[in-house]
Amino acid sequence: MEFLALLFLGKPVWMWLLFVSIVIALLAFDLGILNKQSHEIGIAESLRLSTLYITLGVAFAGFVWWQIGLEESKLYLTAFVVEKTLAMDNVFVIALIFTYFAIPREYQHRVLFWGILGVIVLRGVMIGLGATLVAQYGWLLYIFAAFLIFTGIKMMVTDDKEMDISQNPVLRLMKRRMNVTDDLHGNRFFVRKPDPATGKLTRYATPLFLALVLVEIADLVFAVDSVPAVFAITTDPFIVYTSNIFAILGLRALYFALAAILHRFHYLKYALALLLVFIGSKIFVADLLGWEKFPASWSLGVTFAILTAGVVFSLWKTRGDEAARLTH
Protein backbone atom coordinates (compact mmCIF):
# COMPACT_ATOMS: atom_id res chain seq x y z
CA MET A 1 0.00 0.00 0.00
CA GLU A 2 3.02 2.29 0.31
CA PHE A 3 2.96 2.51 -3.48
CA LEU A 4 -0.32 4.48 -3.33
CA ALA A 5 1.33 7.17 -1.21
CA LEU A 6 4.23 7.68 -3.63
CA LEU A 7 4.25 11.00 -5.46
CA PHE A 8 3.67 11.13 -9.21
CA LEU A 9 3.91 14.60 -10.80
CA GLY A 10 3.56 16.12 -7.35
CA LYS A 11 0.48 14.19 -6.17
CA PRO A 12 0.00 10.78 -4.47
CA VAL A 13 -0.51 7.88 -6.86
CA TRP A 14 -3.89 7.09 -5.25
CA MET A 15 -5.28 10.47 -6.36
CA TRP A 16 -4.32 9.78 -9.99
CA LEU A 17 -5.74 6.24 -9.80
CA LEU A 18 -8.99 7.55 -8.33
CA PHE A 19 -9.41 10.04 -11.17
CA VAL A 20 -8.57 7.46 -13.85
CA SER A 21 -11.05 5.04 -12.25
CA ILE A 22 -13.79 7.69 -12.38
CA VAL A 23 -13.10 8.35 -16.08
CA ILE A 24 -13.05 4.61 -16.93
CA ALA A 25 -16.33 4.10 -15.04
CA LEU A 26 -17.95 7.01 -16.91
CA LEU A 27 -16.79 5.72 -20.30
CA ALA A 28 -17.96 2.18 -19.48
CA PHE A 29 -21.34 3.53 -18.36
CA ASP A 30 -21.59 5.63 -21.52
CA LEU A 31 -20.70 2.91 -24.03
CA GLY A 32 -21.84 -0.19 -22.16
CA ILE A 33 -25.23 1.04 -20.91
CA LEU A 34 -26.36 4.35 -22.42
CA ASN A 35 -25.11 3.75 -25.96
CA LYS A 36 -24.76 -0.01 -26.26
CA GLN A 37 -26.63 0.19 -29.56
CA SER A 38 -26.03 2.93 -32.15
CA HIS A 39 -28.86 5.43 -32.03
CA GLU A 40 -29.50 9.08 -32.74
CA ILE A 41 -28.84 11.17 -29.64
CA GLY A 42 -31.46 13.88 -29.30
CA ILE A 43 -31.10 17.27 -27.67
CA ALA A 44 -32.81 16.17 -24.43
CA GLU A 45 -30.53 13.13 -24.00
CA SER A 46 -27.51 15.27 -24.86
CA LEU A 47 -28.42 17.84 -22.22
CA ARG A 48 -29.03 15.16 -19.56
CA LEU A 49 -25.70 13.47 -20.22
CA SER A 50 -23.86 16.79 -20.33
CA THR A 51 -25.48 17.86 -17.05
CA LEU A 52 -24.16 14.67 -15.47
CA TYR A 53 -20.62 15.33 -16.69
CA ILE A 54 -20.68 19.01 -15.69
CA THR A 55 -22.04 18.12 -12.24
CA LEU A 56 -19.27 15.58 -11.73
CA GLY A 57 -16.67 18.01 -13.05
CA VAL A 58 -17.78 20.75 -10.67
CA ALA A 59 -18.11 18.28 -7.78
CA PHE A 60 -14.50 17.24 -8.36
CA ALA A 61 -13.56 20.79 -7.36
CA GLY A 62 -14.82 19.84 -3.89
CA PHE A 63 -12.42 16.90 -3.84
CA VAL A 64 -9.57 19.22 -4.88
CA TRP A 65 -10.54 21.61 -2.06
CA TRP A 66 -10.63 18.74 0.45
CA GLN A 67 -7.32 17.19 -0.56
CA ILE A 68 -5.25 20.15 -1.79
CA GLY A 69 -6.82 23.46 -0.72
CA LEU A 70 -9.32 26.23 -1.46
CA GLU A 71 -7.04 28.22 -3.77
CA GLU A 72 -6.29 25.13 -5.83
CA SER A 73 -10.02 24.40 -6.02
CA LYS A 74 -10.60 27.88 -7.50
CA LEU A 75 -7.79 27.31 -9.99
CA TYR A 76 -9.35 23.97 -10.98
CA LEU A 77 -12.74 25.62 -11.58
CA THR A 78 -11.13 28.40 -13.62
CA ALA A 79 -9.22 25.87 -15.74
CA PHE A 80 -12.38 23.75 -16.13
CA VAL A 81 -14.46 26.69 -17.36
CA VAL A 82 -11.72 28.00 -19.66
CA GLU A 83 -11.11 24.58 -21.21
CA LYS A 84 -14.82 23.91 -21.76
CA THR A 85 -15.34 27.31 -23.36
CA LEU A 86 -12.27 27.21 -25.59
CA ALA A 87 -13.39 23.76 -26.75
CA MET A 88 -16.44 25.43 -28.33
CA ASP A 89 -14.22 26.15 -31.34
CA ASN A 90 -13.58 22.43 -31.62
CA VAL A 91 -17.33 21.77 -31.82
CA PHE A 92 -17.51 23.93 -34.94
CA VAL A 93 -14.71 21.90 -36.55
CA ILE A 94 -16.25 18.54 -35.58
CA ALA A 95 -19.57 19.64 -37.08
CA LEU A 96 -17.78 20.47 -40.35
CA ILE A 97 -16.06 17.07 -40.38
CA PHE A 98 -19.32 15.19 -39.83
CA THR A 99 -21.03 17.26 -42.52
CA TYR A 100 -18.24 16.66 -45.05
CA PHE A 101 -18.34 12.87 -44.58
CA ALA A 102 -22.16 12.83 -44.27
CA ILE A 103 -21.95 10.93 -40.97
CA PRO A 104 -25.50 10.16 -39.75
CA ARG A 105 -26.30 11.35 -36.21
CA GLU A 106 -26.71 7.77 -34.97
CA TYR A 107 -23.02 7.06 -35.74
CA GLN A 108 -21.56 10.37 -34.56
CA HIS A 109 -21.43 9.30 -30.92
CA ARG A 110 -19.24 6.32 -31.84
CA VAL A 111 -16.69 8.65 -33.43
CA LEU A 112 -16.76 11.04 -30.46
CA PHE A 113 -16.50 8.21 -27.92
CA TRP A 114 -13.42 6.59 -29.47
CA GLY A 115 -12.03 10.06 -30.05
CA ILE A 116 -12.18 10.64 -26.30
CA LEU A 117 -9.80 7.73 -25.69
CA GLY A 118 -7.25 9.34 -27.97
CA VAL A 119 -7.74 12.69 -26.25
CA ILE A 120 -7.12 11.18 -22.81
CA VAL A 121 -3.79 9.73 -23.96
CA LEU A 122 -2.65 12.72 -26.07
CA ARG A 123 -3.53 15.27 -23.38
CA GLY A 124 -1.73 13.16 -20.79
CA VAL A 125 1.44 13.13 -22.90
CA MET A 126 1.26 16.87 -23.69
CA ILE A 127 0.52 17.91 -20.11
CA GLY A 128 3.17 15.58 -18.65
CA LEU A 129 5.77 16.95 -21.07
CA GLY A 130 4.64 20.53 -20.45
CA ALA A 131 4.77 20.13 -16.67
CA THR A 132 8.28 18.66 -16.85
CA LEU A 133 9.56 21.49 -19.08
CA VAL A 134 7.93 24.23 -16.98
CA ALA A 135 9.39 22.76 -13.78
CA GLN A 136 12.89 22.89 -15.31
CA TYR A 137 12.55 26.08 -17.34
CA GLY A 138 10.24 28.54 -15.56
CA TRP A 139 10.68 31.12 -18.31
CA LEU A 140 8.56 28.91 -20.60
CA LEU A 141 5.49 30.26 -18.79
CA TYR A 142 6.26 33.69 -20.25
CA ILE A 143 6.50 32.14 -23.72
CA PHE A 144 3.11 30.47 -23.18
CA ALA A 145 1.66 33.76 -21.95
CA ALA A 146 2.98 35.75 -24.92
CA PHE A 147 1.66 33.07 -27.29
CA LEU A 148 -1.81 33.32 -25.73
CA ILE A 149 -1.84 37.12 -26.05
CA PHE A 150 -0.74 36.87 -29.68
CA THR A 151 -3.38 34.21 -30.42
CA GLY A 152 -6.12 36.26 -28.75
CA ILE A 153 -5.26 39.41 -30.70
CA LYS A 154 -5.07 37.40 -33.93
CA MET A 155 -8.55 35.98 -33.27
CA MET A 156 -9.93 39.50 -32.79
CA VAL A 157 -8.55 40.99 -36.01
CA THR A 158 -8.84 38.10 -38.48
CA ASP A 159 -12.00 37.11 -40.32
CA ASP A 160 -13.42 33.60 -40.14
CA LYS A 161 -12.55 31.43 -43.13
CA GLU A 162 -14.59 28.43 -44.17
CA MET A 163 -12.47 25.33 -43.62
CA ASP A 164 -12.06 23.13 -46.69
CA ILE A 165 -11.92 19.60 -45.28
CA SER A 166 -11.13 18.11 -48.71
CA GLN A 167 -7.77 19.92 -48.76
CA ASN A 168 -6.66 18.57 -45.37
CA PRO A 169 -3.16 17.08 -45.98
CA VAL A 170 -3.73 14.17 -43.59
CA LEU A 171 -6.99 13.25 -45.33
CA ARG A 172 -5.32 13.38 -48.74
CA LEU A 173 -2.43 11.23 -47.45
CA MET A 174 -4.82 8.61 -46.03
CA LYS A 175 -6.74 8.42 -49.29
CA ARG A 176 -3.49 7.91 -51.22
CA ARG A 177 -1.94 5.34 -48.87
CA MET A 178 -5.00 3.42 -47.63
CA ASN A 179 -7.83 1.50 -49.20
CA VAL A 180 -10.92 3.59 -48.46
CA THR A 181 -14.55 2.81 -49.23
CA ASP A 182 -16.74 5.45 -50.82
CA ASP A 183 -19.71 4.66 -48.60
CA LEU A 184 -20.32 4.07 -44.91
CA HIS A 185 -20.74 0.49 -43.67
CA GLY A 186 -22.89 1.00 -40.60
CA ASN A 187 -20.88 1.91 -37.53
CA ARG A 188 -17.76 0.04 -38.64
CA PHE A 189 -14.38 1.73 -38.99
CA PHE A 190 -12.97 -1.04 -41.19
CA VAL A 191 -14.47 -3.65 -43.52
CA ARG A 192 -13.10 -6.50 -45.63
CA LYS A 193 -14.12 -6.57 -49.28
CA PRO A 194 -12.69 -7.96 -52.53
CA ASP A 195 -9.91 -5.93 -54.14
CA PRO A 196 -11.06 -4.83 -57.63
CA ALA A 197 -7.66 -5.74 -59.12
CA THR A 198 -6.88 -9.07 -57.43
CA GLY A 199 -10.23 -10.25 -56.12
CA LYS A 200 -8.65 -11.02 -52.73
CA LEU A 201 -10.34 -9.90 -49.53
CA THR A 202 -8.67 -6.67 -48.44
CA ARG A 203 -9.17 -4.43 -45.43
CA TYR A 204 -10.72 -1.06 -46.28
CA ALA A 205 -11.11 1.97 -44.04
CA THR A 206 -14.55 3.55 -44.07
CA PRO A 207 -15.37 7.29 -44.03
CA LEU A 208 -16.21 6.80 -40.34
CA PHE A 209 -12.55 6.02 -39.63
CA LEU A 210 -11.37 9.02 -41.66
CA ALA A 211 -13.72 11.22 -39.63
CA LEU A 212 -12.28 9.78 -36.39
CA VAL A 213 -8.71 10.58 -37.45
CA LEU A 214 -9.62 14.16 -38.42
CA VAL A 215 -11.47 14.67 -35.11
CA GLU A 216 -8.32 13.52 -33.25
CA ILE A 217 -6.14 15.88 -35.30
CA ALA A 218 -8.57 18.74 -34.68
CA ASP A 219 -8.26 18.14 -30.93
CA LEU A 220 -4.47 18.02 -31.19
CA VAL A 221 -4.43 21.38 -32.99
CA PHE A 222 -6.91 22.81 -30.48
CA ALA A 223 -4.71 21.62 -27.59
CA VAL A 224 -1.91 23.87 -28.84
CA ASP A 225 -4.02 26.80 -27.58
CA SER A 226 -5.85 25.24 -24.66
CA VAL A 227 -2.99 23.48 -22.85
CA PRO A 228 -0.80 26.64 -22.61
CA ALA A 229 -3.92 28.53 -21.48
CA VAL A 230 -4.44 26.16 -18.56
CA PHE A 231 -0.72 26.17 -17.69
CA ALA A 232 -0.98 29.97 -17.53
CA ILE A 233 -3.67 29.46 -14.85
CA THR A 234 -1.84 26.81 -12.84
CA THR A 235 1.26 24.65 -13.31
CA ASP A 236 -0.08 21.82 -11.13
CA PRO A 237 -0.23 18.81 -13.53
CA PHE A 238 -3.04 17.18 -11.55
CA ILE A 239 -5.30 20.23 -11.81
CA VAL A 240 -4.37 20.82 -15.46
CA TYR A 241 -5.10 17.23 -16.51
CA THR A 242 -8.25 16.60 -14.47
CA SER A 243 -9.85 19.92 -15.50
CA ASN A 244 -8.99 19.21 -19.15
CA ILE A 245 -10.50 15.73 -19.21
CA PHE A 246 -13.66 16.60 -17.28
CA ALA A 247 -14.28 19.60 -19.55
CA ILE A 248 -13.79 17.57 -22.73
CA LEU A 249 -15.97 14.68 -21.51
CA GLY A 250 -18.83 17.09 -20.86
CA LEU A 251 -18.43 18.98 -24.11
CA ARG A 252 -18.51 15.84 -26.27
CA ALA A 253 -21.77 14.91 -24.55
CA LEU A 254 -23.12 18.41 -25.15
CA TYR A 255 -22.13 18.34 -28.83
CA PHE A 256 -25.49 17.00 -30.03
CA ALA A 257 -27.35 19.88 -28.39
CA LEU A 258 -24.81 22.51 -29.45
CA ALA A 259 -24.72 21.32 -33.06
CA ALA A 260 -28.30 22.52 -33.52
CA ILE A 261 -27.58 26.06 -32.26
CA LEU A 262 -23.94 26.67 -33.29
CA HIS A 263 -25.03 29.65 -35.38
CA ARG A 264 -26.17 31.44 -32.21
CA PHE A 265 -22.58 31.48 -30.85
CA HIS A 266 -20.92 32.97 -33.92
CA TYR A 267 -19.72 36.05 -31.99
CA LEU A 268 -18.44 34.12 -28.98
CA LYS A 269 -15.00 34.09 -30.63
CA TYR A 270 -14.45 37.69 -29.49
CA ALA A 271 -15.02 36.70 -25.86
CA LEU A 272 -12.67 33.73 -26.30
CA ALA A 273 -10.06 36.04 -27.83
CA LEU A 274 -10.36 38.47 -24.91
CA LEU A 275 -10.16 35.54 -22.48
CA LEU A 276 -6.88 34.35 -24.04
CA VAL A 277 -5.43 37.85 -23.78
CA PHE A 278 -6.51 38.08 -20.12
CA ILE A 279 -5.05 34.67 -19.22
CA GLY A 280 -1.80 35.45 -21.00
CA SER A 281 -1.45 38.88 -19.39
CA LYS A 282 -1.97 37.65 -15.80
CA ILE A 283 1.64 36.56 -15.31
CA PHE A 284 2.93 39.94 -16.52
CA VAL A 285 0.44 41.89 -14.36
CA ALA A 286 1.44 39.86 -11.30
CA ASP A 287 5.13 40.61 -11.93
CA LEU A 288 4.49 44.33 -12.44
CA LEU A 289 2.51 44.58 -9.20
CA GLY A 290 4.97 42.47 -7.24
CA TRP A 291 2.47 39.67 -6.54
CA GLU A 292 3.56 36.08 -6.11
CA LYS A 293 0.69 35.10 -8.39
CA PHE A 294 -2.55 36.55 -9.74
CA PRO A 295 -5.36 35.97 -7.17
CA ALA A 296 -7.35 32.82 -8.04
CA SER A 297 -10.67 34.43 -7.01
CA TRP A 298 -10.10 37.37 -9.35
CA SER A 299 -9.12 35.05 -12.17
CA LEU A 300 -12.28 32.96 -11.74
CA GLY A 301 -14.48 36.07 -11.50
CA VAL A 302 -13.04 37.77 -14.58
CA THR A 303 -13.29 34.51 -16.56
CA PHE A 304 -16.98 34.13 -15.72
CA ALA A 305 -17.64 37.81 -16.49
CA ILE A 306 -15.97 37.66 -19.93
CA LEU A 307 -17.72 34.45 -20.92
CA THR A 308 -21.14 35.56 -19.66
CA ALA A 309 -20.84 38.83 -21.56
CA GLY A 310 -19.71 36.92 -24.67
CA VAL A 311 -22.65 34.49 -24.58
CA VAL A 312 -25.22 37.25 -23.96
CA PHE A 313 -23.76 39.43 -26.75
CA SER A 314 -23.68 36.53 -29.23
CA LEU A 315 -27.27 35.50 -28.47
CA TRP A 316 -28.42 39.12 -28.77
CA LYS A 317 -26.47 39.71 -31.99
CA THR A 318 -27.92 36.60 -33.68
CA ARG A 319 -31.51 37.01 -32.46
CA GLY A 320 -32.59 38.14 -35.94
CA ASP A 321 -31.05 35.03 -37.51
CA GLU A 322 -33.04 32.80 -35.18
CA ALA A 323 -36.29 34.65 -35.95
CA ALA A 324 -35.62 34.22 -39.67
CA ARG A 325 -35.00 30.48 -39.22
CA LEU A 326 -38.28 30.04 -37.35
CA THR A 327 -40.31 31.79 -40.05
CA HIS A 328 -39.04 29.50 -42.82
pLDDT tens, position by position, 87-117: 777 777 888 888 888 888 888 888 888 888 8
Beta-sheet pairing, 11-12 with 201-205 = unpaired
d(C-alpha 213, C-alpha 219), whole Å: 10
- pTM, two decimals, is 0.82
Average pLDDT over residues 13-34: 84
Does residue 56 form part of some domain? yes
Considering the domain boundaries, does residue 134 fall inside one?
yes
Within-domain flag for 165: no
Residue 71's domain comprises 2-158+225-327
**Coil, helix or strand at residue 8:** strand
Is residue 326 very low, low, confident or very high in pLDDT (cuts 50, 70, 90)? Answer: very low
DSSP-H helix ranges across the chain: 2-5, 13-29, 43-67, 70-86, 88-101, 105-136, 140-157, 169-177, 207-233, 237-258, 268-289, 296-317, 319-327
pLDDT at res. 17:
93
Residue 180 lies in a domain: no
| Spatial CA neighbour of 127 closest among 268, 242, 30, 293 | 242
| Residue 33, pLDDT score | 61
Beta-ladder partners of 8: 11
Residue 38 predicted with pLDDT over 80: no
Instruction: Establish if 164 belongs to a structural domain.
Output: no
Run of H or E including 193: strand 190-194
Question: Taking phi first (over 0 means left), then psi (-120 to 50 degrees means alpha), and beta for anything else, what does residue 42 get?
Answer: beta
Asked whether residue 87 is assigned to any structural domain, the reply reads yes
pLDDT tens for each residue of 154-208: 878 776 666 678 788 888 888 888 888 888 888 889 988 887 777 788 889 999 9
**Total domains present in the chain:** 1
pLDDT tens track for 236-284: 999 999 999 998 887 767 777 776 666 677 777 788 888 888 888 888 8
- The mean of the pLDDT values for the chain is 83
Tell me what percent of the residues of the chain surpass a pLDDT of 70: 90
* CA–CA separation, 96 and 257 (whole Å): 15
Identify the DSSP state of 206: -
Nearest CA among 227, 181, 225 for reference residue 206: 181
Has residue 17 been placed in a domain? Answer: yes
Say if 175 falls within a structural domain.
no
d(CA 10, CA 237): 8
